[in-house]
Amino acid sequence: MKFLAALSFLTLSLFVTQAMAELRLPSPFGHHMVLQRDQENPVWGLADPGANVSVTFGGHTIQTKANEEGKWMLKLKPMKGSSHALNMTVKSGDESLTLSNIVVGEVWVCSGQSNMQWALSQVYDPDLEIMSANYPNIRIISVPQVGTQENQDDFDGQWDICTPDTVGQFSAVGYLFGRQLHQTLGVPIGLIDNAWGGSAAEAWVARDVLEADDRFEAIIAEWEKTEATFDFDKVMAAWKEKAAAAKEAGKPVPRAPRNVLAGQHRPGNLWAGVLNPIIGYGIRGTIWYQGESNAGRAYQYDDLFALMITEWRNAWGQGDFPFYWVQLADFRDEVAEPGDSDWAELREAQSNTLALPNTGQAVIYDVGEGRDIHPRDKQTVAKRLARIALARDYGINVPYLSPSYKEMTVEGNKAILTFKDVGSTLYTFDVREAVGFAVAGEDKTWHPAKGILKGKDQVIVTSDAVATPVAVRYAWADNPVANLMSREGLPVIPFRSDDWPQITDPATQPAPSAE
């Protein structure tokens, strides 16, 4: 009943309610779709108010009745995975819809910002990746970018069969993740891409949820100021004048302004615009690649990201479905001296979110590009996500956990670090020394440090500048130079042993000067 209520509020408000409504299905239900195996799958739509509706699929017919607004929902019986093409027939009175070439397998949502949106045509070896993408049982669908405060219940999209003609502009991480699952499991894969480049996490949470939570009062207050003063028509009129003047003078035309009220940063905009239309569709889980837009507020991301995942799960009504994300890659210039970093703090917030059940993190600070926020190596990213899913959800015995910091003891000038989830053993890439450590004493001043492996799960860290270590950090930088990993090739999760104030904590920010 809880699921039905949530689905009724969030997803069943299809189109504009009419006194009489033709039999209709929203875009997630169409030809070539993939239904999630081994679970009941909701199907919903619109019919005449009070009309009987039946759905026949896989030899079973399920019946329900549309409510007074013409909305209806029912659940299909669980089915085993099958690549055998099936038809679905939906009937109501004299009306009938038939959907063809439906398969049953594994369905994943691919969400986040630009690094999830990043197309297959933009990765390394795009020609080879695209020309080999002939997978009749991988199906893909993309949700158009609509930013709004009003819950959308449908979108302009369709399921496509994965071919070289259809996959080029699809999410590279999504496709490469799904391909690995398909090749390993041998079952159909459905991928739903609703990523939006540059999006902020607060846009992916329902507006009323944020407004009711005091932790996000500052976000809402700032946006309320913008909403009260921003006039897009006025901004566009001013731009047109400047553009005309520039053109007449033979100068470059300035970039057209964007309507921030319909964009990907406004709280609740993406929950309503690109998430709501798919909430309730049967899935296995979600892969997520986002955080860059929130790095300047990493301290807040600790709460925001966990809230976002929890709200998605509550709305979907499938319990704590798998939610796996990509930790921020290395980016910006390398620095010689250790210090503070907002990107390091965002990575820590992402790692802290592993406290939620059924979550996982792909660590990728070894595959980024300092000059580009969009790493081209999406193959490695997708494989590390796939490892998590294969091990956690499908019982495949593959390494998937990055080693993580467990504890520190101090002996003289040595900080002895112990790690967990090290696989067969810790390993250093390229050189024997463990690179990427910094150590501080009581003065809280950070110094570069040397790391020497001890046994399979320990590292001895020292610095000539620190007689008695108090705290150690590893890979704590925007673009860390760090080489510690498991022998299986999974990088150690960046960490700090201290709990000193963070630079993104509002409490550490200087007070505004008096006017």
**What pLDDT, on a 0 to 100 scale, did the predictor assign at position 16?**
42
One-letter identity of residue 206: A
Strands 82-92 and 95-112: antiparallel
Are 461 and 469 in contact by the 8 Å Cβ rule? The answer is yes
**What pLDDT, on a 0 to 100 scale, did the predictor assign at position 172?**
98
**What pLDDT, on a 0 to 100 scale, did the predictor assign at position 11?**
45
Phi–psi pair at 42, nearest 5 degrees = -70, 145
**What pLDDT, on a 0 to 100 scale, did the predictor assign at position 18?**
41
CATH 3.40.50.1110 fits 2-206+268-394, yes or no: yes
Are 15 and 44 in contact by the 8 Å Cβ rule? The answer is no
Nearest to residue 161, comparing CAs of 32, 30, 26? 32
Contacts of 11 (CB under 8 A, 6+ apart): 44, 153, 276, 277, 279, 280
Q: Cα dihedral sign for 107, 113, 115, 120?
A: positive
**What pLDDT, on a 0 to 100 scale, did the predictor assign at position 5?**
46
Instruction: Report DSSP letters for 358-388, one per residue.
Output: TEEEE--TTS-BTTBSS-S-HHHHHHHHHHH
Phi–psi pair at 111, nearest 5 degrees = -135, 170
* Sheet hosting strand 434-440, strand order edge to edge: 404-411, 414-420, 458-462, 446-454, 434-440, 471-474, 495-496
Residue 192 gets which letter from DSSP? Answer: E
Q: Which two tokens stand for residue 433?
A: 């020394």
Strands 484-486 and 458-462: unpaired
Nearest to residue 266, comparing CAs of 325, 224, 315, 213? 224
d(CA 41, CA 10) in angstroms, rounded, equals 16
End-to-end CA distance of the chain: 56
Give all strands (DSSP E) within 30-181, no chain letters. 34-36, 41-46, 52-57, 60-65, 71-76, 82-92, 95-112, 135-142, 160-162
**What pLDDT, on a 0 to 100 scale, did the predictor assign at position 510?**
73
Are 271 and 155 in contact by the 8 Å Cβ rule? The answer is no
pLDDT along the chain (515 residues), means of 10: 45 45 94 98 98 97 97 98 97 98 98 98 98 98 98 98 98 98 98 98 98 97 98 97 96 96 98 98 98 98 98 98 98 94 98 98 97 97 98 98 98 98 98 98 98 98 98 98 98 98 90 54
Are 335 and 285 in contact by the 8 Å Cβ rule? The answer is no
